[in-house]
């Protein structure tokens, strides 16, 4: 738990109050208020999850340069004396974007469109890049995630069966990384002011990936109105708006794979949540017992739904 005294030691300032932000799965993040009424963000980097923080820093600084050159607004971390982004005890600091919000639930078609637009512009800019090292290899690989599943228990037997029913389709859609992408491009990683998307945050996983998979992650989070541990039907108006915003950016993609991408991402994420549950909840932050199991069940149910909707998604994409 960060204290005001620790914050002052890490990055000196006249701080008056701090607030733990609870939306993230991996890092500890605080909003630290100053006496002038403005705030900073203090984030403690989780080096047990990200083993190579040197590569995280390298890819971050390289991508930040090209994003800023292309007028993609970011909230850059402050630089230490050596030109890096890490301070004492793996803390990183940046400005807080006043009046900005993030949300797990999409509240309107305008928000869905803006999420698609800013994500497409972000990916279009990074598509010009190449030869970034991997931070976490096989991060979105369905086959890798499936092979890493621990053995089933009696409690998870039914869920394993549902995963196996969809396995052959998910594994057939395995793709080699073909672009430099965000790799965690969900709604909670987009900052809004009102209903206008302002910035994409949490850039720790910028590495080789797939534009279509990034979009699938975005659409699964924008197109439904339930939390990650709840099943929720896709909302046609939100799906259409997100697709429209994404295509308006001019980013290149494979339409057929794009239509199947929310299925692939949901299935893979369900497998990851289940693996973490069976391993003792060592990766994803949980807020109540068996939350990762509930997340896994919800994501596999959503995977079925997205697969059933893939043909209608393809028509939506082609007609946008």
DSSP letter, residue 105: S
- Give me the domain span that covers residue 210: 109-319
Neighbours of 5 (CB within 10 A): 9
pLDDT at 48: 85
CA 262 to chain centre: 13
Is the domain of 46 the same as that of 141? no
How many whole angstroms separate alpha carbon 179 and alpha carbon 112? 24
Q: Is residue 69 part of a domain?
A: no
Structural domain count, the chain: 2
Q: Is residue 88 part of a domain?
A: yes
Is the domain of 145 the same as that of 84? no
Asked if the model's pLDDT at residue 295 lies above 90, the reply is: yes
Q: Look at residues 37, 66, 95 and tell me which one is the last residue of a structural domain.
A: 95
Asked if the model's pLDDT at residue 169 lies above 70, the reply is: yes
Is the domain of 178 the same as that of 264? yes
Average pLDDT over residues 230-244: 96
Helix (H, G, I), strand (E, B) or coil at 91: strand
DSSP letter, residue 13: -
CATH code at position 274: 3.90.1200.10
Q: Is residue 66 part of a domain?
A: no
Is the domain of 86 the same as that of 154? no
Q: Look at residues 95, 121, 156 and tell me which one is the last residue of a structural domain.
A: 95
Q: Is residue 41 part of a domain?
A: yes
CB 142 within 8 A of CB 173: yes
* pLDDT tens, position by position, 132-147: 999 999 999 999 999 9
Is the domain of 273 the same as that of 220? yes
Is the domain of 182 the same as that of 314? yes
Asked if the model's pLDDT at residue 159 lies above 70, the reply is: yes
Inter-CA distances, 213 with 3, 144, 154, 311, Å: 39, 15, 32, 17
Average pLDDT over residues 70-78: 94
Is the domain of 191 the same as that of 273? yes
List of residues 6+ apart from 224 with CB closer than 8 A: 232, 233, 234, 235, 238, 302
CA atoms within 13 A on the CB side of 265: 26
Q: Is residue 100 part of a domain?
A: no
Is the domain of 83 the same as that of 202? no
Asked if the model's pLDDT at residue 24 lies above 80, the reply is: no
Is the domain of 129 the same as that of 226? yes
Helix (H, G, I), strand (E, B) or coil at 15: strand
pLDDT at 153: 97
Is the domain of 286 the same as that of 211? yes
- Give the chain's mean pLDDT: 95
Percent of the chain past pLDDT 70, that is, above it, reads 99
Is the domain of 37 the same as that of 122? no
Average pLDDT over residues 34-61: 94
pLDDT at 255: 97
pLDDT at 65: 95
Asked if the model's pLDDT at residue 163 lies above 70, the reply is: yes
Q: Look at residues 60, 95, 130 and tell me which one is the last residue of a structural domain.
A: 95
Q: Is residue 60 part of a domain?
A: no
Position 26 confidence tier, pLDDT thresholds 50, 70, 90: confident
Is the domain of 216 the same as that of 118? yes
């Amino acid at each position: 738990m960060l204290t005001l005294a620790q914050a002052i030691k890490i990055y000196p300032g006249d701080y008056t109050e701090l607030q733990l932000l609870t939306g993230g799965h991996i890092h500890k993040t605080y909003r630290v208020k100053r006496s002038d009424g403005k705030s900073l963000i203090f984030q403690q980097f989780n080096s047990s999850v990200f083993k190579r923080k040197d590569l995280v820093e390298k890819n971050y600084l390289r991508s930040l340069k090209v994003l800023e050159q292309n007028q993609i607004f970011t909230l850059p971390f402050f630089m230490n004396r050596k030109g890096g982004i890490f301070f004492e005890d793996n803390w990183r600091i940046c400005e807080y974007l006043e009046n900005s919000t993030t949300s797990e639930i999409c509240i309107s078609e305008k928000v869905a469109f803006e999420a698609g637009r800013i994500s497409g512009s972000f990916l279009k800019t990074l598509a010009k890049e190449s030869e970034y090292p991997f931070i976490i290899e096989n991060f979105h690989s369905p086959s890798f995630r499936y092979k890493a599943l621990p053995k089933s228990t009696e409690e998870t037997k039914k869920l394993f069966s549902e995963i196996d029913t969809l396995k052959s389709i998910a594994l057939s859609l395995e793709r080699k990384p073909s672009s430099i992408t965000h790799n965690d491009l969900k709604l909670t990683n987009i900052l809004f002011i009102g209903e206008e998307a302002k910035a994409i945050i949490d850039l720790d996983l910028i590495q080789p990936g797939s534009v279509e998979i990034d979009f699938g992650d975005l659409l699964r989070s924008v197109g439904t109105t339930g939390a990650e541990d709840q099943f929720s039907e896709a909302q046609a108006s939100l799906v259409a708006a997100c697709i429209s915003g994404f295509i308006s950016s001019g980013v290149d993609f494979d339409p057929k794979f794009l239509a199947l991408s929310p299925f692939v991402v949901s299935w893979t994420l369900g497998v990851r949540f289940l693996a973490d549950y069976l391993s003792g909840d060592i990766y994803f932050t949980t807020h109540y017992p068996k939350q990762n199991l509930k997340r896994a069940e919800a994501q596999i149910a959503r995977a079925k739904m997205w697969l059933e909707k893939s043909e209608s998604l393809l028509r939506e994409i082609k007609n946008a």
